[in-house]
Chain A
Amino acid sequence: MPKFSLHINGLQKEIDTEPDTPLLYVLRDYLELNGPKFGCGLSQCGACMVLIDGSAATSCMRPIASIGDSKITTLEGLASENGKLHAVQEAFNREQAAQCGYCLNGMVIASVGLLNSNPSPNDSEIKDALQLNLCRCSAHTRIIQAVKTASKNLSGK
């Protein structure tokens, strides 16, 4: 079985798997990460999002063979080494921006991706950035508020 070397959350990881294994399955099944979730396998819901070189992207249809040297960051890789949460994680907790929380991974990752490129988004820019991400419990208004809170806290630092 081919061997792949991936850059994940600041570490280089070796994985033996078939080249068509999607990144999501590598992260969950081989590296035992919980952040990225299986939601559709069709890149339609955003539950599986990760940051690829700082931009939010779905991982469920992206074969491991296509990743190359890209730097992957998952939900687990957002907090600093001492455990301090990223401003976006902090804000989602503070705003209680979840019900079941299954979509939360994608919401947080997409929001970090947005703030990486646009530190002070308005409501419509936030909605655009989260358009792929489904939340069936419908905690949308709290999620928008959490992104605003995170944006404020990041710019205040």
Chain B
Amino acid sequence: MIELSKTSRRKFLRNIGYISVGFPLLSSNLVVQEPEVVARVNFEGDLPGSMRNASKVNAWLHVLEDGRVMVFSGKVELGQGIRTAIRQVAAEELDLELDQVEVHLAETGVTPDEGYTAGSSSIPNSAMSVRYAAATARQKLLELASAKLNTAEEDLILYNGKVKSKKSNQALNFAEVLEGAQIDMEVTKPVPLKIKSGYRYVGKAIHRKDIEKMVRGEEVYIQDLRFPGMVHARVLRPAGYQSKLVKIDGSGLSTAISGIIKTVVNGSFVGVITEREYQAVKAEAYLRKHSEWTTSPSFPKQETLFAHLKSIAEKPQSIRNEGDITTIPNGKETFKASYAKPYLKHGSIGPACGIAMYDGEILHIWSHSQGIYPMRRAIAAMLKMELEKLHVIAVPGAGCFGHSTADDAAADAAILALSYPGKHIRVQWSRQDEHTWDPYGTAMIMELEASLDANGKIKTWKTDVWTDSHSIRPDNDPATLLDTRYLENPVQLKGRGYLGGGHRNADPYYNIPNMQVNAHFFNGPLRVSSLRSLGSYTTIFSIESFMDELAEKAGKDPLEFRLAHLEDARAIAVITKIQEMCSGEKLEEGEGIGYAFSRYKNTTAYATAAAKVSIDRASGTIKLLKMWAAVDVGEIINLDGIINQIEGGMLQAASWTLKEEVTFEDNKITSSDWRKYPVFRFSDIPEVEVAMIDRPNEAAEGGGEVSMPPTGAAIANAVYKASGKRVYNLPITAEKILG
């Protein structure tokens, strides 16, 4: 059977034409290399979830007219380098040069719907889907070339974009093999994959191509897009979460500020469109001064936040209950500790931006959202438009670290575009709005209780975790978008999103015979959604702090105590690796090293972190001197990319641990800029050393979040070693050490 569809190269090229973040024309600087035919081995495992709705080869890749390959991924580039990783796996399976692969990231109607770029799932889902599609395509290309060249498959070599006969000079590129068609066949098992020992790119430290564009100041980000006739806009956010617009007087606006095109008022949504960007900044300030809002109710007092959160929590839900936690050994006491973490910001360096243009039929939206298909559903529902009338294109923004404000900015632009058709409208958020309307990572509380047996091993363990939702991402519920709650007919959130993230890693990965985990969900006072690593940062901060406390009670070395509760060889390996890395470290007076381990989600990548701190006894000042990590993400796709992610994750988590806390007073978020919400700066940066344990035969796990959970606890444990003071409430500050 011929499984080829005569497609529509023209249609494809037209689709490409939509994208204004242009494709660079690739210079083919192909090195003449001896073709090396590497053996294949059949893959019989599970296909990734992303292939469920995109099961055919041509959903993932097309052959271009010049014989190169265009790969499609529904994931977006967040600075994690996914484009490069996907290019590597495609080039690997198709035996191409890296330059022969172009990667088209998320765009509705063009790429597969892969939901959100989140949860460290881009490598296991998107990159693996591309791997299987590319391997299937290679097999098909060989088959078709064999017929065309009238040569048996075993007498063909597929290498660097050509299928050549070993016996003659005949050769075809991929486009010539397909004659303008695409490979419209299902990816089915077994998939013949290249054997890993024959890899040219995967596992290597391949440089990203976009960094050169960045250093040259080329068009990279949504903020850089410019369209003919594009106009600018800002949205005047309400005075508080529950404020309603009472009145607005824009009568003097055009006299006071030049370039005013239109003020759009819809319920409590106020947007202003101007010719130039800075005019919009001034117009927003003017409208703020000339508007009146109802008063939003006060937040609880910051000092009593955690008591408040406990008081509003629902009845606990049992998450895990094994053995009997009341079987406390005779005469043994139980140990208890309570930990807390404040609300944290995403803190993207680039405030949100959205661009939209309504052409009278289709609403085109450019966004740095993490999930353009789900966001399309939410915006369509907000605007009561048919899904097909929305066309969304993902464009990189600044690193966002979870569900931040990108979708809200896209919604702003969409509303304004409908009221001012025919023009591209660019909405830029201010730093203050980015800081005060961000859906934060929720505040959390962990209460732990455990007992030890006669051998100093953990006999019983109980976790109680208090948490809000960890994902209220845009999807079918339009009120996930801020604007929906302020339009003329406001709609409030129907559900609470993904609560499960709150007890992620709340059950220790250790062998403990009697274990109980309870989750107490609350609907807290601040807007929340997913922040990198979700609840794991807090659950592991607490568990791994407590493990050090228990080790001390048991009179054991902290790492040996952990090893005594582990059987998983990969977990043991990251711990023994960190022991080796830190073994030569000398400690001065007032210095200490702390450790922490976790397996992310208890099912994916492994990491042990270590931190060395020094503490000034008089002032309590903490200096983070050095951090180490030993990490196992299974098969490594890009060695340089993964190390970059691990280092960045550790430093960001260290900033959370030592600096960060969203503050509020009365009905205002007061941490409204970088002075009032300090984060790590260069003077805070320690030395960092990362060791990767490569396991080419294990599943490839994502690495964006794995180093964050153990970092907080490693620092807390180091602070305890250095000062004798255990800090239970984040962030760890000088005042708490002295207090």
Contact = CB atoms under 8 A, between A and B. Distances in A.
Q: Do A and B bind each other?
A: yes
Interface of A: 1, 17-18, 21-22, 25, 28-30, 32-35, 37-42, 44-45, 47, 74-76, 79, 85, 89-90, 92-93, 96-105, 108, 126-128, 130-142, 144
Given A96-B211, A101-B79, A28 B220 contact: no
6 nearest interchain CB pairs?
A100-B79, A35-B217, A138-B651, A102-B398, A100-B399, A99-B79
19 contacts: A34-B224, A39-B349, A41-B281, A44-B673, A47-B350, A93-B212, A97-B211, A98-B214, A99-B80, A99-B81, A100-B350, A103-B398, A134-B681, A136-B349, A137-B79, A138-B650, A138-B655, A141-B685, A142-B644
Given A131-B681, A131-B683, A45 B399 contact: no
Contacts of A100: 78-79, 349-350, 396-399
A75 B217 contact: yes
B216 A141 contact: no
B644 A93 contact: no
A34 B219 contact: yes
A133 B684 CA distance: 12
A34 B674 contact: no
Given A17-B276, A96-B207, A136 B674 contact: no
B592 interface: no
A21 to B, nearest CB: 5
A101 B681 contact: no
A137 B398 CA distance: 9
Nearest to A130: B682
Nearest to B640: A96
Contact of A127 (B81, B277, B349, B683): B683
Interface string B626-663: 00000000000000100011011111100100000000
Interface in B672-713: 673-675, 679-683, 685, 687-688
A20 to B, nearest CB: 8
Interface of B: 78-81, 207-208, 210-212, 214-221, 223-224, 226, 232, 258, 276-278, 281, 347-351, 396-399, 401, 428, 430-431, 640, 644-645, 647-652, 655, 673-675, 679-683, 685, 687-688
A142 B646 CA distance: 13
Contacts of B208: 96
Contact of A93 (B215, B397, B430, B682): B215
Contact of A137 (B219, B351, B399): B399
A141 B627 CA distance: 12
A135 B380 CA distance: 34
Contact of A29 (B276, B396, B655): B276
B222 to A, nearest CB: 11
Contact of B216 (A30, A79, A96, A102): A79
Given A34-B224, A99-B79, A41 B216 contact: no
A139 B208 CA distance: 14
A93 B212 CA distance: 6
B398 A138 contact: no
Given A85-B215, A100-B396, A38 B683 contact: no
A94 to B, nearest CB: 8
A149 B652 CA distance: 24
A104 B399 CA distance: 12
Given A34-B221, A42-B673, 8 more contacts: A33-B217, A74-B217, A93-B207, A99-B399, A102-B399, A103-B349, A103-B398, A104-B214
A141 B687 contact: yes
B686 to A, nearest CB: 9
A126 B685 CA distance: 12
A119 to B, nearest CB: 19
A37 B682 contact: no
Contact of B226 (A32, A85, A126): A32
Given A37-B223, A76-B216, A136-B679, A102 B350 contact: yes
